Amino acid sequence: MSTDKDTKIPTAEQTGKITSKWTRKQVSTIYHQAFNDLVYCAHSIFRENFNHNEVQLSTLINIKSGGCPEDCAYCPQSAHYESHAEVTPLMEVDKVVEAAKVAKQNGAKRFCMGAAWRSPKDKDIKKIQSIIKSVKSEGLETCATLGMLSEQQAIALAEAGLDYYNHNIDTSPEYYEKIISTRNFNDRLNTLEIVRGAGMKVCCGGIVGMGEASDDRVDFLYELATMDPHPESVPINMLVRSEGTPLENSVGTDWLQLVRTIATGRILMPMSYIRLSAGRAEMSEELQAFCFFAGANSIFYGDKLLTTENPETQKDLRLLSRLGISPQH
């Protein structure tokens, strides 16, 4: 049941407090308010909780690509589609460490590793443990996205020192089944609960531009904001239309909805790092600057993400320098 409080637009002074007790109506009211008011409120909260002229740099590499049995409609690594993604086995530890050293030299603070699995096999976990320990020995934070986990697997990763586990909810619960049929929304929530139980931090976000409605973006943000605690890291991706996937001809969404999503996320989750993730290669510098103003304070840094292009390292540094934004140390 909605109350007057649910429909009244909160001010910057009223928001900015950490809570997981949002109502869906409150989230919708925040998201749909006048754009200038939304961005002003988000930026005010951003300034209260972070150095607003600083950005956290992460590097993402694919340590095992292609051949995934899941049918995510946006993903070229799915075995269900004929795409450009190369199928490779799990990388050797020394190769991953070599990439981690380069990432650190280029200024990355966190090293994120992705593997195209529905869920890893127990025999793979031992090698992943070695990779995590070796990367951490280089002085980097570690994050992994390996699919769904059992409790024993999550505990093993935590014992190896994994700092963050990425497991995106992608979109709203209602729209989820239109994007993926090989698992359900609750499967995602179950793994997130297991990750929390093992003592790791959570990296969880999603994708805009998959044909979803604004109500789906509201519901997606509501799901994130009512997690207790909030995800420490929230990646917001713009769909990258990949050849061979069902969404290769998607019309996407306009820039305004991306900024609205980021700004609303900043208001709802004041202390979370909000990462401007996939799709940056197709964004203008002006749009990226707007996203940073609206509360994004993390990016993936490097020439490539899992299978998609990313702005070149030097191009990113030039943009950040022009904006007066420094990499977080």
72 is catalytic: yes
Residue 3 lies in a domain: no
Cα 3 from chain centroid (whole Å): 32
Number of domains in the chain: 1
Give residue 10's pLDDT.
Answer: 58
143 is catalytic: yes
Residue 227 lies in a domain: yes
Q: Which residue has the tokens 């409609």?
A: 73
How many CA atoms within 13 Å lie on the side-chain side of 264? Answer: 31
The catalytic residue among 41, 68, 204, 291 is 68
The catalytic residue among 75, 110, 183, 217 is 75
Give residue 107's pLDDT.
Answer: 83
3-state helix, strand, coil in the chain (%, to 5): 40, 15, 45
Which CATH number is 197's domain given? 3.20.20.70
Give residue 84's pLDDT.
Answer: 73
The catalytic residue among 112, 183, 217, 260 is 112
Per-residue pLDDT tens, the chain, 329 aa: give them.
555 555 555 554 455 678 999 999 999 999 999 999 999 999 999 999 999 999 998 888 889 888 888 889 998 888 888 877 778 888 999 999 999 998 888 888 899 999 888 899 999 999 999 999 999 999 999 999 999 999 999 999 999 999 999 999 999 999 999 999 999 999 999 999 999 999 999 999 999 999 999 999 999 999 999 999 999 999 999 998 888 888 988 887 889 999 999 999 999 999 999 999 888 888 899 999 999 999 999 988 755 444 455 556 778 888 989 999 998 87
Residue 14 lies in a domain: no
Query: How far is the C-alpha of 238 from the C-alpha of 247, rounded, in Å?
Result: 12
Residue 11 lies in a domain: no
275 is catalytic: yes
> Can the peptide bond before residue 89 be classed as cis, meaning omega within 30 degrees of 0?
no
The catalytic residue among 41, 110, 143, 204 is 143
Query: How far is the C-alpha of 55 from the C-alpha of 237, rounded, in Å?
Result: 17
Residue 13 lies in a domain: no
75 is catalytic: yes
CB 170 within 8 A of CB 206: yes
Cα distance between the two ends of the chain = 45
Residue 315 lies in a domain: yes
The catalytic residue among 41, 110, 188, 203 is 203
Residue 4 lies in a domain: no
- Residue-range definition of the domain harbouring residue 129: 19-44+52-327
291 is catalytic: no
The catalytic residue among 183, 188, 266, 275 is 275
Give residue 315's pLDDT.
Answer: 84
Residue 204 lies in a domain: yes
Give residue 170's pLDDT.
Answer: 95
The catalytic residue among 72, 217, 260, 266 is 72
Residue 257, phi-psi category: left (phi > 0), alpha (psi -120 to 50), beta (remainder): alpha
